[in-house]
Copies of this chain bind each other. A is one copy, B any other.
Amino acid sequence: MSQFQFDLLQQDVTTEARLGRITCRRGQIDTPTFMPVGTLGTVKGMLPEALKEIGAQIILANTYHLFLRPGHELVRQMGGLHKFMNWDRPILTDSGGFQVFSLGDLCKIEEGGVSFQSHLDGSRHLLTPELSIEIQQALGSDIVMVFDECIPHPAEWKYVADSTARSARWAQRCRDVLPAGGETALFGIVQGGMERDLRRQSAEELQEIGFEGYALGGLSVGEEAVVMYEMMEYALPLLPQDQPRYVMGVGTPQNLIEGIARGCDMFDCVMPTRNARNGVLFSRFGKLSIKQARYHDDQQPIDPTCNCYVCQNYIRAYLRHLYRSNEILASVLNTHHNLYYYQQLMAGARRSIAENRFDQFRTDFYRDLDTQ
């Protein structure tokens, strides 16, 4: 009996938005959910207590990075990633594929797997579906992703077809070494680029294998937002109603709202954390770049309507000063605020679905953005 469960609690009436709950061994995750990215076993600038304070129920860790440093065997030896980084809630790990393929010429794809050179020291490695699962299990991941190729955009139909077929074979190999029913969930990843026929084929092949959840991969790779939305709209209904759906690497607040409206339950993106370190702050009234001179003597918080620790205690003039002075607290406070914003956006979406007013929530979201 699997320890992983998804309950679909409510289906919105006017959109595809869904309210759900994932239950796994390390806790519950209310969906739609956003997963802060903790690449190297830390969400940059956030203490685990702060992540809990802002309501994060699950984080994402990167297999590729942890494989290279400090190494999955060390993490296993130290009792797993949760213990290592002092985070006792669920962790989803990506498969390493996305990062490996990002290396471009430094990687070579074969049926067996992908050989690549480390971006850190140039050392050579071979990442296979089996090794990816082994690494993710060594880390102690709660939700493991299949090893696949994230297809670049644009790409020729033939390339997309071959790659998607190979990813399906790799997905089977992942399932073979991580069968259903254990403590760890395994999610399949639908590929197929921007080709509907290949997306459908991929979705069908993955469901024949059978996974605890399904993701859309290969989106937010440079295509127009409208193309991404159309593909979500096409592909998400191809997936089981009673299992979680995850759109990988997405995205902006707008992307998240549109993803939810199309039936997506899970998101992850480096945007809130990376933007924070670059002084770009999210608010319901749009983004602001804290380094701008206009904030020199601005005594307002980032967002006067925000209830986060940062907005309750610090003014823009101080945050600008910290950013310009390259202070550690600039990253700490900016990250805290941005992740709080993302978590609140998800919480608001969940409440609105529960109350059958998601469509109004989406309207209000765009109205506020436009009042900046």
Enumerate chain A interface residues (CB-CB to B < 8 A).
Answer: 40-42, 44-47, 69-70, 74, 77-79, 84-86, 296-297, 299, 313-315, 317-318, 320-322, 324-325, 327-329, 331-332
Q: Is the CB of B47 within 8 A of A317?
A: no
The CA-CA distance from A331 to B42 in the complex, in Å, is 13
Q: Is the CB of B321 within 8 A of A332?
A: no
Q: Is the CB of B69 within 8 A of A322?
A: no
Q: Is the CB of B69 within 8 A of A321?
A: yes
For A74, list chain B residues within 8 Å (CB): 296-297, 317
The smallest beta-carbon distance between A145 and chain B, in angstroms, is 22
Q: Is the CB of A317 within 8 A of B45?
A: no
Q: Which of B45, B69, B70 contacts A329 (CB 8 A)?
A: B45
The CA-CA distance from A213 to B167 in the complex, in Å, is 73
Given A45-B328, A47-B329, A322-B42, A70:B314 Cβ within 8 A: no
For A70, list chain B residues within 8 Å (CB): 296, 317, 320-321, 324
Q: Is the CB of B332 within 8 A of A69?
A: no
Q: Ordered nearest first, which 4 A-B pairs have the shortest CB separation? A: A45-B328, A70-B321, A86-B313, A42-B329
The CA-CA distance from A321 to B70 in the complex, in Å, is 6
For A40, list chain B residues within 8 Å (CB): 321-322, 325, 327
For A85, list chain B residues within 8 Å (CB): 318
The smallest beta-carbon distance between A64 and chain B, in angstroms, is 13
Given A86-B313, A313-B86, A69:B331 Cβ within 8 A: no
Number of identical monomers bound together in the oligomeric complex = 2
Q: Is the CB of A324 within 8 A of B69?
A: yes
Q: Is the CB of B328 within 8 A of A328?
A: yes
Q: Is the CB of B297 within 8 A of A78?
A: yes
Q: Is the interface of A mostly helix, strand, loop or mixed?
A: loop
The CA-CA distance from A328 to B45 in the complex, in Å, is 5
The smallest beta-carbon distance between A204 and chain B, in angstroms, is 41
10 inter-chain pairs at a CB distance below 8 angstroms, sorted by A residue, are A47-B332, A69-B321, A70-B320, A74-B317, A78-B299, A78-B317, A78-B318, A84-B318, A86-B314, A328-B328
The CA-CA distance from A321 to B85 in the complex, in Å, is 10
For A78, list chain B residues within 8 Å (CB): 297, 299, 315, 317-318
For A47, list chain B residues within 8 Å (CB): 329, 332
The CA-CA distance from A84 to B315 in the complex, in Å, is 7
Given A74-B297, A86-B313, A296-B74, A328:B318 Cβ within 8 A: no
Q: Is the CB of A44 within 8 A of B324?
A: no
What residue in chain B is nearest A277 (Cβ atoms)?
B328
The smallest beta-carbon distance between A288 and chain B, in angstroms, is 18
Between A296, A320, A329, the greatest number of chain B beta carbons within 10 A of the residue's beta carbon is seen for: A329
The CA-CA distance from A38 to B325 in the complex, in Å, is 13
For A332, list chain B residues within 8 Å (CB): 45, 47, 328, 332
The CA-CA distance from A314 to B77 in the complex, in Å, is 15
For A329, list chain B residues within 8 Å (CB): 42, 44-47
Q: Is the CB of A42 within 8 A of B297?
A: no
Q: Which of B41, B315, B321 contacts A318 (CB 8 A)?
A: B41
What residue in chain B is nearest A330 (Cβ atoms)?
B42
For the A-B complex with A42-B329, A44-B327, A47-B332 known, give 10 more contacts whose Cβ atoms are closer than 8 Å: A41-B318, A41-B321, A44-B329, A45-B329, A69-B324, A70-B321, A84-B315, A86-B314, A328-B328, A328-B331
For A331, list chain B residues within 8 Å (CB): 328
Q: Is the CB of B325 within 8 A of A69?
A: yes
